[in-house]
Amino acid sequence: MSQLEEVQGLVLSIRKHRERDYLVKIFTDRYGKLMFFVRGTKNPNFKLRPAIQPFTSSTFIADIRDDGLSFLRDAKNVEPFSVIQQDIFKNAYATYVLQLADAALEDRVVDNRLFEQLIQGMSYINEGKDEEIVMNIFEVRFLRYFGVLPELRGCVFCGKTEGAFDYSSKHHGLLCPAHFHEDERRLHAFPRAIHFIRLFSVVSLEKINTVSVKQETKDEIRAVLDILYEELVGLKLKSKKFIDEMKNWQDLIK
Ligand SMILES: [Zn+2]
């Protein structure tokens, strides 16, 4: 069975298939993440070309199949996040967020809330909001999607939610100072890094307007999230490696 549908979609990735065709992965509002086959892109008048570029959201007219590949027939309201497409730094962060989404989501699982958040996140990066913080918020959000739920709301022993905290791998969550002794090999992370990670686990993306974080603190947050991802998720994405390497040379060309 197939059906022609109008869906909102955000392009997650595109790759060449044989000479002239493409496989485009799109996160849609009503059908979740789907792989689309797009034919005939050598044609200079190929009208779908702008709509299937990375970092673009569109309304697609699509032939949605129950299994296997689906097909794109047309697109309208094509909205490229053009700053992301042109800025190597913003591109790096946005690519990682979308690759994380791709890794975290099963095909055909509808998640309209996440769909809206990803569009919002791309808009924020495109508008010049702090792309590292946008990335961090999604990294914390996606932990749940990877099926790992460290306790980030408060101390795993007493439930305390005020004050300074550290992270314990052994106990899979935060410790307050009164329970630091429960894990001598706790992270010894900077309390302000933990503070922001806790914040990111509860605030909505819109709150980013009120969050201002120094580079030093961002580096500390990065270090903690890297440990969480390494220990709990174990994902090695190329786009993340690129961001890590970028830190070594970005100041030279900025
Ligand atoms: Zn405690």
Q: Which domains does the chain have, with CATH numbers?
A: 2-80 (2.40.50.140), 131-253 (1.20.1440)
Q: Within 10 A of 22 (CB to CB), how many other CB atoms are there?
A: 19
So what's the pLDDT on residue 212? 87
Would the pLDDT of 31 be above 60? yes
Mean pLDDT of 176-187: 97
Instruction: Look over the chain and give the mean of its residue pLDDT values, rounded to a whole number.
Output: 93
What are 47-89's pLDDT values in tens digits?
Answer: 899 999 999 999 999 999 988 899 999 999 999 999 999 999 9
Q: Do the bridges between strand 32-38 and strand 166-168 make them parallel or antiparallel, or are there none, so unpaired?
A: unpaired
So what's the pLDDT on residue 204? 85
Q: Angle CA(49)–CA(52)–CA(58) in degrees, nearest 5?
A: 110
Would the pLDDT of 3 be above 90? no
Would the pLDDT of 122 be above 70? yes
Q: How far is the CA of 158 from the centre of ligand 1 (A)?
A: 4
Cα(89)–Cα(178) distance, integer angstroms: 41
Q: Do the bridges between strand 173-175 and strand 151-155 make them parallel or antiparallel, or are there none, so unpaired?
A: parallel
So what's the pLDDT on residue 42? 65
Mean pLDDT of 218-244: 94
Q: How far is the CA of 165 from the centre of ligand 1 (A)?
A: 9
So what's the pLDDT on residue 209? 79
The stretches of the chain forming alpha helices (DSSP H) are 82-86, 88-104, 112-127, 131-145, 191-202, 215-228, 238-253
Which tokens in the block code for residue 197? 């990670």
Cα(96)–Cα(54) distance, integer angstroms: 12
Q: Please tell me what DSSP assigns to residue 231.
A: I
What are 146-166's pLDDT values in tens digits?
Answer: 999 899 999 999 999 999 999
Q: How far is the CA of 161 from the centre of ligand 1 (A)?
A: 9
Q: How far is the CA of 169 from the centre of ligand 1 (A)?
A: 15
HSE, side-chain direction, 13 A CA sphere, residue 39: 4
Cα(250)–Cα(90) distance, integer angstroms: 12
